[in-house]
Amino acid sequence: MAEKGWTRRNFLKKAGAVTVLGTAGALDIPGDVWARAGTYATLIDLTKCDGCRDLEIPKCVEACRVLNEKRFPVPEKPIKDLWPQKTHDDWSDRKGVFHALTPYNWTTVQRVSVDGEDVFVPRRCMHCDSAPCASLCPFGALNKFDDGAVVINPDLCLGGAKCKAVCPWHIPQRQSGVGIYLKIQPLPAGGGVMYKCDLCHDRIGAGKIPACVEACEKRLGEKRSLFFGRRDEILKTARARAKEIGGEIYGEKENGGTATLYVSRVPFEKIDAKLREKKAAPHMGKARSLMQDVNAWAGGFVLSPLVMALGALGLIFHERRKKGNGKEGKEDEK
């Protein structure tokens, strides 16, 4: 839960500590340490997914929406622009959109036609083993848990969108008009809360499987396209299935490995080309590990607040000097 009595002053004190300590910690954490955290994973078999084409909305998408509806943002309107910019992100009038990832829709199904074959691709957070978003969030609002889930804490998130910037697939989406940034404006960072799939972290903790996987299983039974289990077992299943169909695996190595794995007979390169042709996000292209860039990013996060602080001090001294010069000028006139 969020700490009571948030003020601009005590938030900046806490956020500053998190920024320095969090990024300093990131500097010393090698990627393989994070990779060992991926305990569970989901396998999505694209040879079996039919996109629930006979239904108005795919079952996996519907299950995710129903489960998380109570957690969807309720913005305060009118929504203020992101200071000092003159824009903001508002999906609140488009809550019904389910063909894209939004703050109100954390799972979607993409459809492409490759060589005359329709391919349906369920999409959500990839839950990277070595998650750059969790390592580089300057306010510690993202965490990588031992069950494999990468989770955003809405009580800490400022909506600065650094997580979206470092995500190879740009998964997290922002809703303005919600979150603690409203209580500490104006602040040259943030602008709402970021939202995305959390791998049903709470359900996993209760011994249940993710809602999307459960919905697919209820609809198709043994013919289901979504599977969930221990990551090592899921990876074995993915490799065996890829060998069986002469196909490929996506997510085993992308961005250092993920807890969302795909297997397909159609080359992912072709799927990605069709997605980009349609300008549909997220893509399915190659995604190298960003953890090797942690030092550069973390250094930037550490330096940015320092530069901002020095800039503010410089402005204060400049204003004081101007006032001082004004007084001296008046005394000279006397």
Split into its structural domains, the chain has a count of 1
pLDDT value, residue 323:
54
Asked whether residue 141 is assigned to any structural domain, the reply reads yes
Of 195, 228, 188, 194, nearest to 211 (Cα)? 228
| Per-position DSSP letters for 208-227, written without gaps between them | ---HHHHHHHHHHGGG-SEE
In a domain, 131, yes or no: yes
For residue 72, the enclosing domain spans 8-37+54-224+287-328
User: In the prediction, which pLDDT does 66 show?
Assistant: 98
CATH number, domain at 95? 3.30.70.20
Q: How far is CA 225 from CA 44, 113, 299, in A?
A: 6, 18, 42
Q: State the pLDDT at residue 290.
A: 62
pLDDT score of 189: 54
Q: Which tens digit of pLDDT belongs to each residue from 203-216?
A: 999 999 999 999 99
Residue 241 domain-assigned (yes or no): no
| Domain-located, residue 263 | no
What is the pLDDT, as a whole number, of residue 283? Answer: 96
What distance lies between CA 9 and its chain's CA centroid? 27
pLDDT in the model for residue 191: 83
Q: At which residue do the structure tokens 């954390």 appear?
A: 106
d(CA 40, CA 261): 11
pTM of the complete model: 0.78
Is position 134 within any domain? yes
10-residue mean pLDDT profile of the chain (334 residues): values are: 44 43 36 50 98 96 98 92 82 96 98 97 96 91 95 94 94 94 68 96 96 98 96 96 98 95 98 97 85 50 45 48 51 46
Q: Strands of 80-225 (E only): list them.
A: 108-114, 117-123, 142-144, 150-152, 173-175, 193-195
Q: Tell me whether residue 44 is in a domain.
A: no
